Amino acid sequence: MERKIESPMLTTSEAAKYMRIDVNTLSALLDMGEIPVLNLGSKKIYRPVLDEFIVKNMTNASDTSLKKLVENYKNQKKLKPGERRIEI
């Protein structure tokens, strides 16, 4: 009988399923730097880091505080009239 070995490194979609949030919310959290990510050809997230984030930020029954955090970040990213974003 073979034993399945689980890696502590998760892809973005696996991490979103693990946290029970949508991928867009997770991507925003990664962009904000709230959750550290390793870029090993593709984004990999260390499961114990996710556990720590969940305990710290998602202990409420609802994830409204998490949604507020992401909304604030998105609002900060919006450009003011007359501004333009320069890609490097």
Provide the residue-wise pLDDT of the chain in tens; the chain has 88 residues: 566 667 788 999 999 888 888 888 888 888 888 888 888 778 899 988 888 888 877 766 455 667 777 777 676 666 677 776 665 4
Say what the pLDDT of residue 60 is.
60
Say what the pLDDT of residue 53 is.
84
Say what the pLDDT of residue 86 is.
61
Question: b/e for 37-75, b at 16 or more Cβ within 10 A?
Answer: beeeeeebbbeebbeebeeeebeeeebeebeebbeeeee
